[in-house]
Structures are given as structure tokens and as C-alpha cells.
Structure 1
Amino acid sequence: MASPPNTPQTTDASHPFKRPSADIIIILRSCDLVDFHVHSFILTEASPFFSGMFELPQPSQADSGTPDAAPAPPVIDMAEDAETLDLLLRLLYPIVKPPLEEPKLLARVLKAATKYEMAWPVTVVSERLLAITSSNALQVWAAACQARTGLEGVARQAALVLRVSGIGVNLLEVETLAQLKDCLEDMFGISAGDYLRLKQFLRAAQSDIDAGRLTLLSPQPEAMTHPPLISPSPFSTDLPSPDVSCRSLRQRGLGSEQSFKAHSLILSMRSPVLKARLGLVSDPLPALGDANSKKNPSGGTLAVLEFDEEPEIVSLLLKVCYNDQEDLPVDLELTPIAELLRACGKYQMIRIEDLVRAAWNKIAISRPLEAFFVAICQGLDDCARAAAKNVLSGPIPDAYTPVMESAPALAYHRLLVYYDACRAVRKERLVAFKNRIPSSFYVHDRGRFFSDGVQKAIHEFAEGTHGVAPHMGYPKHALPNVLTNAMSTNSTLRRSQVWEFIEILVEGVTSVPDVVAAAIDEVQIELA
């Protein structure tokens, strides 16, 4: 009989996971649809996770409606791909072991072995990662970050090798960060916090390394201190006759369901998307998983409107729908505001989006690094670009915010590359300005004036480690102050009127900061 058209086509794994036999009663199906026929007793002995699973009551053959048919082995859908499962199972089986050389694959196997509580593969793979560290230090560090659990020692050993290797030295220089992306490709599974801690480890004093003061896979406790989150009160309305129940699809188990009574007229006025969904309220059979409205299954008079957002975000969204002239709660953090902003865009709530964006900008301007990573995590590219420009207001090589633990390392890498590009543009403009100043000239009745002091001051200013952008990174009068201080130390110039020289310096006081700012604004951060 031909398979139904929507049935996924599977293939069997290679030996020894291919041939069914009487004592093979489990099929592990990989996420890429490869079936592994495995012995249940091996999984039971190797994994408390599977042992507990097999102790659960299993459906009898009579329950299947075909009591006389040969029992079909149960199929367990796995989150891992075939390559990962194949190596993991070969480590469990009493067969010749394959080579263990590829750090990325070992990281995936280690992560799966940890999840399924398989102590033997965890030990074997961890030891193998340590063994190949000397020739694959950066990749082993990345593997430790991706697998995480219990691999602080592996990550530390890799970082120690990097401290004395060429790429370890390069990591200390922002100018060479592009090489890191080439080595790690997309850096999937590595957080921005991991990336920062590696950079700090590589530049740390040896005494701090020896004392064990630095970690690589988890932040120091003091780095995680932040004010407690405040949950605003749930939405409710005193308006009579609500006709729709707004419910989040992201409920947290039985007993946690939360819905909010609202009015379809108000929602329709705020959002054309919700208006269209409410127009389908009479549709008796919406598509499975469709977030459209449908009749309340309890048979009540309220229609049910389902949202993909968390209950707290649905509540906030309803609050601003009903009170769009009021500010958002003052205690909101950047993450819920970003989620709310994304929901406003999704539902095309243009008026409300302006209100939410104003709340975002008010906080983001003072916490630009956090705003950048929150925007990245929420897919708000325009907010991320604006935050990246605000990040230029100060030095970022060691700056930290807890959201970096959930933000991708690739975003942090791109931010550092962008920051470095802006620094280069700033330095180029300031050096060009410095080079226009004559090295010396004769002042009538005053003697020869040498401008090396002024040029040195500008050079040090261009090389400084403070922020990049003239309009944010330092006050706009900072460069004029540098020039004024440098000139005031020369008595010859102070008592003379040298118009050509002063004219150039006046340009530096008035227009060069704006030229630098305009050049920096032309630099774009890569987000994808």
C-alpha cells in the first residue's frame, strides 16, 4: 500500500542500527528522519532517562486493534540529527569506536549525552576534547560553550592554549576580530557572555588565572546583579459587555491558563490584523494551530482570540489598546517593552507602536548595550542599529549586561567590528586634521613657534580609549578643550595673533566634530 502523501519518508541507519531483531524494540527517529533500531536494554543500562521512560506503562497490542499482528516497535522522535545519534549510539554499543576528531560533532554528542544522562559518553567525549585541545583550541572552546554542562575545565584548558597561541593574541586586538568569525563560522550556540569572558581571560594577569578568579562558561555572581523584575497587574476592564476572550498560546501547564476579557470593537479599532481575525469568529473549523479566533469550546458567548505572545505581553498589549493616551508602566524593563514593540508591529498597531517606541527610546538611550542585545534577541533590527550607535558613547571591550548570556556571540562580534570601524573612521578624520597644522612657524617679534604640543594632544585624543562618537562618546566641547589646553601651554602663541594657524584650529573647534560624526553615521553594522 502506498504511503499517504503527507507521510514523512524515513530511511534506516547503517549497521548495527539497521536490522530489526527480536530484542530490538525501540526505534529512535532523528530529526532528519533516519531510524535507528536499538536494543532497549542497552539504553536502559546506559541512560537513567530512557530507563525511566521504559518503566512507564506501554500500550498493549490489543489496544492497537490488531491483536494477531506482529508488534511494531515504538518510535521515539529525537531532537538530534542522524550524525549525532549515530556517534552517540556507537559509543554505547560494544563495537569498534569511530574516530573522535571533529569538535563540532563532539559538542553535539556531548550535549545529547548530558541531556539523556549517559555518563560513559560524557566522560569519553570530554576526555577526547581535552586530548585534541592543543591543535584545535578555539574549536574546543566553542564546543565547551555549546555543550556547557560540566565543561568548565575543558573550556579553561582551551583558553590556556589560546593564551600562548597566535589566535589568542589576535583576540586581544579588536582589529583582527574578523578572523574569529572565519574560524567559528556562525558561532551557533555560543553566547555573547561566553565571547566576552574568553577575551577577558586572554588578557588577564597570570596571577588572576592561577588564583582561579575567572570563569569561562558562567558569569561571576556580581556580574549578574540587577534589580528584580516587577510584574505589572493583569489587564482588566470595567467596560460592560465584553465579547471576546484573549488567550495566550504560551500557557505554563495546567492551572496556569490566563485569559483576558475584552471588546472586539476596541481591538478592531486598534489593529487591522485583529479585526480580520475577529471577522472569522463564525468559522466553525479554523486550521489546526492557526491563531485565528474560534468559538469558545465551553459554549459561552465569548469568542476566543489566541495570541502567540506570553500572557504578560498580551496583558500589556490590551492595556495600551484601552489606554493609548497614557504612558506605559514606569517599572517595565527593556525586554517586555521590546516584546510589546514586536507585537505592535505584528498586529499593525501604528498608533500604539509610537507610544511603545517612545518608552523604549527613553530607557535605551541610557542603557545602550543592554538595548542592543535585547533588540537582537527580539529581531528588532531598527532598534538594534540605533542602540549600536548609542553604544559608541563609551568603551565596550569589557562592558557587560546579563542579557548577553542569552544573546548570540555573533551579534557581539559584529558589534565589536562595527565599534572598531567607527574608531578607525574617527581616528582617520582627526589625524587628517592634525596633519594640516604646520609643524612650526615664525612669529614676528615673538620667535619661532613649534606646534608639536598641539599635534601630540590631538594624536592622543585620536588614540584614546573613550567613546567614539563626538555627539555621544564625549561632549562636543571635548576636542575644543584639548586644543585650548594645548595652546595655552605655549607662551609664544598665547601672546600673538597668528591668523592662519588659529583659522585651522577654529575649524577644529567648530566643524571637525560634526565631520567625524557624519562619517561615523555612514558606517553600518552587519546584523545578518
Structure 2
Amino acid sequence: MDSSPSTPKSSEPITIMGEYPFDNRYGDADVILRSSDGIAFFVHKAILRVASTFFAGMFSLPQPVSTSGQIFNLHTIDIDEGKRTIDSLLRLCYPVTDPSLPSVHDIEPVLGAAIKYDMNEATRLVTTSLLALLTQEPLQVYAAACRLNLESTAYRAASTFSGCSGDRSPGSTQKSTSHKKMTSVNTRLSFPVDAYDLEMDTVSAGEYYRLLCYRSGNAQRRLHFWEKTEAFLRKLTPTPAETSPREFDHPFNDSLKGDIIIRSCSNTYFYVYKQLLSLASSVLAELIQDSGVGGQGEEDLPAVLLPESDSTLAVLLQLCYPLVDPVIHTLWDAHNLLEAATKYKIVRAVEVARKRWFKGIYEEPMRVFLRATRLGWEKETTEAAMQIAYSKVKNDITDPGIVFEMDRTPAFALRRLLVFRQKCREAIALTRGSKLPRETLSSLYWDSQASNVLVPNTAASKFLLRVHQYAYEKTQVLRENEKLVLNIDQFLPFSITPPTNNEEASSALHDEIVERDRTFITNIAYALAKIKF
């Protein structure tokens, strides 16, 4: 929808006037602002010119002479905002009592409109009201600031949430604080790291990720909370070197084996058969049909120009033919294939790309999790979440190797993952008999070092992952009112060999070890089985 004001049709009726002073009580209004819900606000150009450079510029242009689109012979301007927003905004411009804006929910639309219409004083006043809520609702303020691209406000909200007075400013060159020191500081913060507000659901996972990084002290260099994750990560890690184009093979080089040309964005020719492509894709069928007019290639064949790269088209076109599935080398290749396959509605290509994404769970589980969540791939989402929950620090979600998928995924997906991992860690700790104070539970939510305490090595991590996967699989096939029964003998260390100098003692020791492990693993398995993702 066009966000700029427009002149309505004269046939559109006015339903009701705005409240005083926007009801033209004295008959001196010279323009009408009509809200999206049909309320007419009778206002004065002189005041709007002073309050808004946007309207000052509009009123400097020649005004329409025709009476079409006018109400009471006044020029009427349709705007996108509703009655409450416009009423509050205009009261900030007029010499009347300022509106009451008690919550972030009330403030955000007014602030957005003030910014949109270049109302500097109104923007300042509403921003002050927003900042007044920092100590009560820092996450709501942060979410609103991200949605409105207000960097300084987002920073202040992040600082309040982190319990710091601004020592870790965006431009700070202060050295990173050690984990041990940060842990002792975090225990005194007003807001636990796992605090969350539903207003955060509407920001991106990248914006939530940057907030948590800032709070944990992992963002010492300058960052923008609402900028793209890719730009943020370049501040934390060196930019990887560009890789050279990879050579690829495809069977579409022979001009005698095709009756149409598909041209890539780099003008590479692919000779293919119309009928096969048309059967595979209704979208390509329409493009092929339109190519008969003015789309000739060099060999007097019709040509269709597609914006995809050579490598993407080479794989995509093979999946339109009755050929074996081509190799998808990287997740970037799978990403490009999935985008193209979805665009052209090629079902087989979508499935092949999805299978490659599933394989990527063991390479880049966080990236797969975000993509799978966004596309509603529940199986891939759950498996990736489990991989992340039991991964070690170098592959953890607090590692700065997060990809741009975060900016395309809502924050509640990352929240869901963090809560799941926190519950897994808590279940393991409680099974081991650990008593967890509130601050420790919070650290299990985000602290990348917490897994080192609960899961001391990679072998233990893989072991617990397999136990959880087994328990989850059993719960998935459980019928209604059926009791869950887990057989954990397959996980027991039967390979333990007792000393051979005393067979009876050795056997007793072996049985004791096995029974102890059976009890421990059983307790963990049943505890993890209760955790729903």
C-alpha cells in the first residue's frame, strides 16, 4: 500500500468528524485529513506547515482547482493511519493538552506516524514517552525501536535489559569480559537473560540474537541492533574470501537436443525440450508459450531468459528431465535451488532441495533450523533443534557464524529453540542431582559455556543426543492413554570388562556398574521424553 496521502473520490462519504479542536467549530479550517477508518479531521495548513516538513512541502505545490475529492469545499487528504493515531499526533502539534500514551502499544503507531510525516517536535515528545517506559518494559521498547529503525532507542533498551549504564556503548573498544567475570555480573542484573515479551515476536531472530549477544558481552565492536545479521557478523569475524565459480556438468549443451533455449543471467544457453519443461512446471509452460513472440535465439530457436545463475539452472533443468538426481554440493546451492523451484513450481526440485537441507542439519544445524521453521518443515525443525541443543561451543548458537536466515525468520523461532535447549539442560542437571538457582537456570538459556559443565565432552554430547532422539521417537508413536516404556539397554556400556583375577568379584562389579548406569540413563531418558518442542 502506498504510504503517501492521496486525494479520495468525491463519492466516498464522510462518516463523522474528529473531536475538538478538529471538528471545525469556528469554521476556519482549510484542509481535511481523513483517517483510514473514515474520520475527518478539520485542520489548519499554517499549523501543519510549522509542525511537519512533509506537509509544508505538500502545501507548497499547486493545489487542485476541481471540487472533486473535497468535503465542505475543503481539500481532503486520505491518510493510512487510523483515528486514534491521527488524533494523538495532531494534538501534539496543536496548542492543546498532549494525548495520554501510557503504553508502548499506544506510543508506537503515533511515533511511526510522526517520523513518517517529518514532525520533529512530535517525534521528540513521543520518543521521550517511549524512553520513560524503559525500566518497566525494556523488551517492548526494544521491539518498537527495531520496528521503527531507531538505533539510539534500541541501544538504550538493550542497555537497560542488560543492566548496564552504558559502559558497553556501540562504539566501545573495551576488551571482551571473561566468561567467569560476566557470569558474576549477570547474577545482579534486573532482567534475566531468558526474560521475553510477546512484542518481540514481531522482530526478526537477528534482532533478538544481537540483543542477547550485547547482553552477554559478545558484541564489543560497534553494531546496529536493527541492521542485517550479515553486516553485524562482518564486525565480529573477518569477511570470508570469495570462492571462485565452480565448474558444473549438464546435458544441455547440444543444440540438436532441444527445441527451445533457456538463457541464464550470464547469457549461457541451455538447449531443452519444451514439452518436458511444460510438464514439469506450469510457470515455465507459460513462459515458453510467450517466447514464440520476439524471443529468438541464435539457432533460430525460441529463447526464454531467466534471472537464475548457470549452476542453479543446470540443476533445476535436470530435475525437469527423467534423470538421476544431481548432486547439490552446498547449502547455498540448496538455497538457490529451493528459491527457483518454488518460484517455478517444480515439485521434484523442491523435494530434492529439501532433502539436501535435511542433510545440512549435521553441517549447519542453526541455518537449517531457521529455514525449516520458516517453511513449516516440522521434521527438519525438530531434528535441527536437537542437534543444536547438544552441540558443543564451536557449533553453538552463540557462535558468530550465524547466516542471513535470521533476518528472514521471526524472533519467536529463536525463542522457541532457546527454551527447548534450556529445558534439555535443566533436565540433565536435575537428573544428576544438581540444585539450580534462578540465575543458573537463566544461564542455561543462552550461556554457551553451560553445556561444558553438563556435557563435558563431544562423546557425552552425542550420547545424550541419541538418548533424546530415541525417547522422542517413542513418544511420537505412543497411542492415546498408552504408557511410555523405554528400553535403554541398548545404551548401556556392556563393553566394560572387569578385572579377571577374581571372576566372582568381577561379575558383581560389572553388574553394579551396569545397574547404576541403567538407572541414570533411564532417568535422563524419561526426563527428556517429557520435553516437547
Q: TM-score range by the shorter chain?
A: 0.5 to 0.7
What SS does the corresponding residue of 2:200 show, helix, strand or coil? Answer: coil
Distance 1:23 1:118 in 2: 20
Gaps (5+ residues) in structure 1?
1-6, 248-259, 282-291, 433-459, 477-482
Q: Match of 1:196? A: 209
The answer to which of 331-340 and 91-100 deviates more is 331-340
Over 3 Å counting, the alpha-carbon distance change for 1:213 and 1:508 in structure 2 is: farther
Q: Match of 2:280? A: 270
1:463 aligns with one of 454, 469, 483: 454
Tell me the amino acid that sits aligned with residue 419 of structure 1. R
Over 3 Å counting, the alpha-carbon distance change for 1:212 and 1:274 in structure 2 is: closer
Distance 2:362 2:12 in 1: 50
Task: Give 1:196 shift.
Answer: 3.5
1:27 aligns with one of 27, 30, 33: 33
Q: Does 1:120 align with 2:121?
A: yes
Tell me the amino acid that sits aligned with residue 505 of structure 1. I
Task: Give 1:87 shift.
Answer: 2.1
Q: Match of 2:135? A: 134
Task: Give 1:215 shift.
Answer: 6.9
What SS does the corresponding residue of 1:171 show, helix, strand or coil? Answer: coil
Q: Match of 1:97? A: 98
Task: Give 1:99 shift.
Answer: 1.9
Q: Does 1:365 align with 2:362?
A: yes
Distance 1:502 1:126 in 2: 69
- Is the 2:315–2:326 contact (alpha carbons within 8 Å) kept by the matching residues of 1? no
Over 3 Å counting, the alpha-carbon distance change for 1:373 and 1:168 in structure 2 is: farther
What SS does the corresponding residue of 2:462 show, helix, strand or coil? Answer: coil
Q: Match of 1:444? A: none
Tell me the amino acid that sits aligned with residue 413 of structure 1. R
Structure-1-length-normalised TM-score = 0.61
Over 3 Å counting, the alpha-carbon distance change for 1:72 and 1:82 in structure 2 is: same
Q: Match of 1:171? A: 192
Task: Give 1:515 shift.
Answer: 8.8
Task: Give 1:381 shift.
Answer: 4.1
Task: Give 1:296 shift.
Answer: 8.4
- Is the 1:328–1:359 contact (alpha carbons within 8 Å) kept by the matching residues of 2? yes
Tell me the amino acid that sits aligned with residue 370 of structure 1. R
2:53 aligns with one of 38, 42, 48: 48
- Count the aligned residue pairs: 432
Q: Match of 2:327? A: 327
Distance 2:38 2:244 in 1: 42
Q: Match of 2:339? A: 339
Distance 1:99 1:502 in 2: 74
Tell me the amino acid that sits aligned with residue 421 of structure 1. K
- Is the 2:420–2:531 contact (alpha carbons within 8 Å) kept by the matching residues of 1? yes
Task: Give 1:417 shift.
Answer: 0.9
Distance 2:88 2:240 in 1: 44
Tell me the amino acid that sits aligned with residue 349 of structure 1. V
Q: Match of 2:471? A: none
- Is the 2:134–2:141 contact (alpha carbons within 8 Å) kept by the matching residues of 1? yes
Tell me the amino acid that sits aligned with residue 418 of structure 2. L
Over 3 Å counting, the alpha-carbon distance change for 1:240 and 1:268 in structure 2 is: closer
Distance 2:54 2:272 in 1: 44
Q: Does 1:155 align with 2:157?
A: yes
- Mapping of residues 97-496 of structure 1, within 5 Å: 97-149=98-150, 150-156=152-158, 158-159=160-161, 168-169=189-190, 171-172=192-193, 177=194, 180-181=195-196, 184-204=197-217, 219=232, 221-223=234-236, 227=240, 240-242=258-260, 265-271=275-281, 274=283, 311-312=307-308, 316=312, 320-323=316-319, 325-328=325-328, 330=330, 332=332, 335-340=335-340, 342-343=342-343, 347=345, 349-350=347-348, 352-394=349-391, 395=393, 396=396, 398-400=398-400, 401-403=402-404, 404-427=406-429, 463-464=454-455, 470-471=461-462
2:510 aligns with one of 502, 507, 520: 502
Distance 1:274 1:518 in 2: 50
- Is the 1:467–1:473 contact (alpha carbons within 8 Å) kept by the matching residues of 2? no
Task: Give 1:415 shift.
Answer: 0.7
Deviations 1:463-495 (A, max 9, x none): 34778984377899xxxxxx99xx99x99x999
Q: Match of 2:439? A: none
> Aligned-pair RMSD on alpha carbons?
5.6
What SS does the corresponding residue of 2:78 show, helix, strand or coil? Answer: strand
Task: Give 1:103 shift.
Answer: 1.7
Task: Give 1:102 shift.
Answer: 0.9
Distance 1:373 1:83 in 2: 37
Distance 1:8 1:467 in 2: 69
Task: Give 1:349 shift.
Answer: 0.9
Distance 1:503 1:341 in 2: 57
What SS does the corresponding residue of 1:27 show, helix, strand or coil? Answer: strand
Distance 2:503 2:28 in 1: 103
Over 3 Å counting, the alpha-carbon distance change for 1:161 and 1:340 in structure 2 is: same
- Is the 1:133–1:157 contact (alpha carbons within 8 Å) kept by the matching residues of 2? no
Task: Give 1:71 shift.
Answer: 5.6
Distance 2:317 2:329 in 1: 14
- Is the 2:203–2:410 contact (alpha carbons within 8 Å) kept by the matching residues of 1? yes
- Is the 1:294–1:303 contact (alpha carbons within 8 Å) kept by the matching residues of 2? no
Distance 1:503 1:514 in 2: 16
Distance 1:341 1:390 in 2: 27
Task: Give 1:313 shift.
Answer: 9.2
Q: Match of 1:447? A: none
Tell me the amino acid that sits aligned with residue 510 of structure 2. I
Distance 1:472 1:13 in 2: 69
Distance 1:429 1:98 in 2: 55
Deviations 1:85-132 (A, max 9, x none): 332232223321112321222233223323333221221122222333
Q: Match of 2:470? A: none
Over 3 Å counting, the alpha-carbon distance change for 1:402 and 1:246 in structure 2 is: closer
Deviations 1:390-425 (A, max 9, x none): 212425463342533443221111111111222234
- Is the 2:111–2:126 contact (alpha carbons within 8 Å) kept by the matching residues of 1? yes
Tell me the amino acid that sits aligned with residue 195 of structure 1. Y
What SS does the corresponding residue of 1:94 show, helix, strand or coil? Answer: coil
Distance 2:244 2:113 in 1: 35
Structure-2-length-normalised TM-score = 0.60
- Is the 1:369–1:391 contact (alpha carbons within 8 Å) kept by the matching residues of 2? yes
How many percent of aligned residue pairs carry the same amino acid? 24
Q: Match of 1:284? A: none
Over 3 Å counting, the alpha-carbon distance change for 1:462 and 1:13 in structure 2 is: farther
Tell me the amino acid that sits aligned with residue 269 of structure 1. L
Q: Does 1:14 align with 2:11?
A: no
Distance 2:73 2:189 in 1: 57
- Is the 2:14–2:39 contact (alpha carbons within 8 Å) kept by the matching residues of 1? yes
Deviations 1:220-247 (A, max 9, x none): 75237554888999x9985654499999
What SS does the corresponding residue of 2:114 show, helix, strand or coil? Answer: helix
Over 3 Å counting, the alpha-carbon distance change for 1:503 and 1:383 in structure 2 is: same
Distance 2:341 2:370 in 1: 15
